[in-house]
Structure 1
């Protein structure tokens, strides 16, 4: 063999050896890259899950606060309306007394004021709870102030008299009607 061939062989051996080592190194790098890539994918999945949970929690918060705000607007004037209920009761008592009077013009004038007052409160969401004698007593709605012996068996456990009217503001009872129940 000539020197030239030997040198070429040596170069070839030298060149092949590092190439093989580089291939081994690159395979290790691929394995490391895959594990790093898998780790990144896993981290990305965790972050997506966190984001979705946070987003859902925020949407629930928005719905809850919106609902609370709507309820607040519905009952914003509740304190004012509750404070006006005794005046409404006084109007009813005054109308009873004025109906006994012979002055029909005064009765008509006060009646107009009372109707205007009632309509204004009605527009603001106030509703009277209608009750009449013989209705069934419901502890959720009615406030029994006393029980008396029922005049007949049909009125046993039923409402005999309404002492004070009850009112609702929207769907919420702001004053329970005070009633007398037969036993």
Structure 2
């Protein structure tokens, strides 16, 4: 049994479908009256294939977009927690500076071990220090100038004189800009 015979049987069983089919065919395919039934079916098949391919492409784009959004969300999901821990890192930095001033090497080693473990754990979660140091050219996109002072030497004019507070980034996004002093 051919598809043409099957269509005729369906049309005969369902008079409503026959009426809608004839009106659709008359309005949409008037110049194509010279087409054979096989050519009409091939044309319809081509249209359905085109619709399917477009729908499939839209779905693939949707999958890619949502996967990318999910990955971005996972990268920055713990941003608030990491931002809350940044003052603790600052306190550790200040404590290490003060402990180095004393002669207590055991205390220094103990605090340094804890500090290293803490920073390596945060690094494994994607936290990185924004690398700026004294002598680097000041870039407002990567650092926050909290003050300007007369530069101690002519080569430090417009450059970073001192880093007051370290900056951190999570992935490619800076979550805290380094606070620096700039020479003018």
CA distance in 1, matches of 2:92, 2:164: 15
**Aligned-partner SS, 1:134:** coil
Distance 1:35 1:142 in 2: 73
> How does 1:55-94 map onto structure 2 within 5 Å?
55-94=56-95
Task: Kindly state the Cα deviation for residue 150 of structure 1 after the two structures are TM-superposed.
Answer: 1.4
Separation of aligned partners in 2, 1:34 and 1:90: 83
Q: Output the aligned Cα RMSD.
A: 2.1
Output the CA distance in 2 between the equivalents of 1:36 and 1:150.
87
Alignment of 1:34 onto 2:71: no
Which residue in 2 is equivalent to 1:137? 138
TM-score, normalised by the number of residues in structure 2: 0.74
Residue of structure 2 in register with 1:119 after alignment: 120
Structure 1 residue aligned with 2:150: 149
SS for the counterpart of 1:138 is coil
Shift of 1:38: 4.7
In structure 1, C-alpha distance between the alignment counterparts of 2:33 and 2:54, rounded to whole Å: 31
**What's the TM-score, normalizing by structure 1?**
0.75
How many Å apart are 1:65 and its aligned residue?
A: 1.0
Offset, 1:40? 4.1
Does the residue aligned with 1:65 lie in a helix, a strand or coil? helix
- Corresponding residue for 2:97? 96
Match of 1:175 in 2: 176
State the alpha-carbon separation in 1 of the partners of residues 78 and 100 from structure 2. 32
Deviation of the 1:93 alpha carbon: 0.8
Matched, 1:43 2:34: no
d(CA) in 1 for partners of 2:42, 2:120: 66
Tell me how far apart the structure 1 counterparts of residues 35 and 135 of structure 2 sit (CA, whole Å).
82
The 10-residue stretch of structure 1 (97-106 or 113-122) with the greater mean CA deviation from structure 2: 97-106
Q: Shift of the alpha carbon at 1:96?
A: 1.4
1:45 and 1:97, CA in 2 relative to 1: closer, same or farther beyond 3 A? Answer: same
After TM superposition, which residue ranges in structure 1, 4 or more long, deviate above 6 angstroms? Answer: none
